[in-house]
Structure 1
Amino acid sequence: MLLKTLVSLCVLAAAAFAVPAQEKRVHHHGDLSERPHDDAQGFQYDHEAFLGKEEAKTFDQLTPEESKDKLAKIVERIDVDGDGYVSHAELHSWIRHRQRRYIQENVDKHWKEYDSNGDGKIAWDEYKNTTYGYYLGEEFDDVDDKATYKSMLTRDERRFRTADRDGDMIATREEFTAFLHPEEYDYMKDVVVQETVEDIDKNADGKINIDEYIGDMFTPEDGEREPDWVTTEKKHFAEFRDANKDGYLDAAEVADWVLPGEVDHADNEAKHLIHETDTDKDGRLTLSELLDNLDSIKSSTITDYGGMRADEHDEL
């Protein structure tokens, strides 16, 4: 049952990602990776940015020689002008391609689940019935946390209605993409902010206080010492997040936090990878430089965003 799977994933995600707010809540366009971008903790973010999430897993299982052969094929595709170098522009373009590919493949996967009548569109009833199934007939009486399921249904319907621009409650592919990836669409940003506030605002006053902000990231066990990053986050809340200094985050301040404007994360990742692997500091990369820094590359989204396969069948 998709409903049980959905709830289980929510619970697991909450348990697994007890991390600083900027890593948990901030919505990046076409996320490069769910991993923290901190080289001190390893290069997995870069690995998934260069390779893509699924291909990154594949690389981890290859022998060194197989990894080099596969990387050479990928670099050949990134080097569009064929001059033997990977420029910043080529790397940036490739990472953006992997982002778009990830979103397309993610939508493809869900489309097959929800377009039950095969008409090339997804009606709200199709989504609702596939996700919540027979529980709807019982009004969730058979589930333990009835209020949570009802809240999830209400939230899904609100997001679906917002994504459905023509108001017919039947999603085209573009509208369904907006439903699944609202951070990619300007007209969905209010929904992203509203959902964030609802998640964190425990006293339901429509704004987020410092305790709710920290509580979303960290709940200490008895006697547990507060980590240093919590102190840093409290400072961030007071000095940066709470722009009007009223002690709360309102919707506009939450938007500034979780939807950070026009930051181009693909561009930043391209610059980061060049900085880390450009041995001769000429501002471009050779295959030799990339192979010499295979650990960094094997931890980037360049090589596998959305299950990328570096062969002649994978079109740019």
Structure 2
Amino acid sequence: MIKQKFGAAILGTMVLASSVAVASPIPSTTATTTYHRIDVDGVGVFYREAGPKDAPTIVLLHGFPSSSRGFDTLIPLLATHYHVVAPDYPGFGQSDTPSPKVYRYTFNHLAKTIDILLEQLRINHYTLYLFDYGAPIGYRIILTHPERLHALIIQNGNAYDAGLGSKWAKIAQFWSDPKVHPEVVNAFLSYEATKQRHLAGTSHPDAYDPESWNDEFAHLSQPGQREIQEALLYDYRTNVAAYPVWQAWLRKHKPPTLIVWGANDPSFIAAGAQAYRADLPDAEIHLLDAGHFALEEKNDVIANLILQFMAKHP
């Protein structure tokens, strides 16, 4: 009899739990990230999306050698108030990796692809978040459609000679004669360099997930990636040459700008953040105690700064 009562109690609990699960499912919210792929000129482009589509849009542009996955913790915090879109460039993340024989890996071409993506998504007014490679891609989009820009958020996205750290002198030698300096590409794509992009300059290494650089290195080790990344590293010289053009545009148009910069970044040093002041005297500049991938240790701080900044510029 005891066994029967015990069994009935268990059965009753199971039925109750089952009915509760059916009657009260966990509600989804606009902050929930969804994952998409769209064809852009024959290339499958992957993007993350969250937030109400009728809210102002923030487009997050990632860096090297990462992807939109680097925004995983930021997106839900912004999506409570904004429509957020974060694409992967061709050759990065979950987007297609067409052969360099059929897709030109230049910053001009990456910018064109992302620009077309935004047009296909009918996003024609946005705030751009520029990080690392996202800066030269974003500035090209801005110069193509200046009327579409609402505001700028810049996180270790360089546009000044003053912001280039010491390693760029060696990269400049590669630009002058790529065939003579293969060691630059070897170092650029090495496991240690991939790891140190995250850890260099941080006083909080425990805030960094090793899966980040392990996944990035696995991606860089895939067939064809060396050719792709070498082409983009060589093409980066066109970004440095374009700095005066970008600076002139900023000086003329003065968009509302928030700069949140990992001040201990050895690649894009803190002077690069401060240099914006010459062309954007009203820019809001925050130098954070963080390295290049500042979001990994200052995600909540940066999210709060963005929300406060956007509230000031509705």
TM-score w.r.t. length of structure 2: 0.24
Name the structure where helix makes up a greater proportion of residues.
1
Does 1 or 2 have the higher relative contact order (CA < 8 Å, sep 6+)? 1
Greater strand share, structure number = 2
